[in-house]
Amino acid sequence: MKEMWESRYSAEDYAYGIEPNTFFKETLEKYKLEGTILLPAEGEGRNAVFAAKKGLNVLAFDISEEGKKKALKLAAKQNVTINYKVGDFFNLDIVNHKYESVALIFAHFPVSILSKYHKKIGDLIKPNGLVILEGFSKNHLKLSEKNPSLGGPKNIEVLFSKESIQNDFPDFEILLLEESNVNLSEGKFHNGESSVIRFIGRKKEK
Ligand SMILES: C[S@@+](CC[C@H](N)C(=O)[O-])C[C@H]1O[C@@H](n2cnc3c(N)ncnc32)[C@H](O)[C@@H]1O
């Protein structure tokens, strides 16, 4: 899996473009976030750079060294600073701190770690902090089988449903949780009418 991402990100072009994901951008513009935003599986940095330009401290991580290189290059070009770690989430220092918000944008982890990662990520968010998530839904699979330009995982178990997200983030008040069809236009790999889950949750106070 790591090899696939290293190969994809070693190309000159940005696989998902350099513009932020639309839902991420709109959510950041609606909620005036402060402090540090955690960006798991951040790839080539399009969302990290946007968040940094909005004045947030950014801490991103991924398994891809090539992704990190492209992200730092994009940040330098746009005159912002981001912090980006590469490695296994549970072995990174990231898990020893708490954050004001987290955004999971097409962060599709292998099924063996998916819920464990979501639950740990939820634990790292401070009371009243936000989780912002957009990812492909289970219903996306039949669309992507017909149209490979849509992208997205081919294993239904790693795709999301409203129920799976609700189960993985039990400590969050739901501000938005919907499944919808959206027309993606993100670089070379996310193009066309796709089925996504969108979630915004606010961490409950204990
Ligand atoms: C579809 S890309 C999305 C990248 C970015 N979030 C975006 O929207 O542009 C999925 C990303 O998940 C990362 N990834 C896959 N498994 C991972 C893991 N176990 N830990 C961290 N990142 C992972 C890949 O390297 C890849 O960058």
Query: Apex CA 153: angle with CA 116 and CA 201, to 5°?
Result: 50
Instruction: With a cut of 80, say whether residue 35 has pLDDT above it.
Output: yes
Residue with CA at minimum distance from ligand 1 atom 14: 41
The parent domain of residue 133 ranges over 2-203
Neighbours of 49 (CB within 10 A): 27
Query: Apex CA 162: angle with CA 168 and CA 2, to 5°?
Result: 60
Q: What is the CATH number of the domain that holds 130?
A: 3.40.50.150
Contact 166, 90 (CB under 8 A): no
Contact 187, 13 (CB under 8 A): yes
Q: Is the pTM of this model over 0.95?
A: yes
Q: What percent of the chain has pLDDT over 70?
A: 100
Is the CB–ligand 1 distance for residue 39 below 6 Å? Answer: no
Is the CB–ligand 1 distance for residue 46 below 6 Å? Answer: yes
Domain count, the chain: 1
Is the CB–ligand 1 distance for residue 153 below 6 Å? Answer: no
Task: For residue 206, report the distance from its CA to the centre of ligand 1, in Å.
Answer: 31
- Enter the tokens of residue 138: 């289970």
Determine the pLDDT at residue 32.
87
* pLDDT tens, residue by residue, 160-171: 999 999 999 999
Contact 138, 161 (CB under 8 A): yes
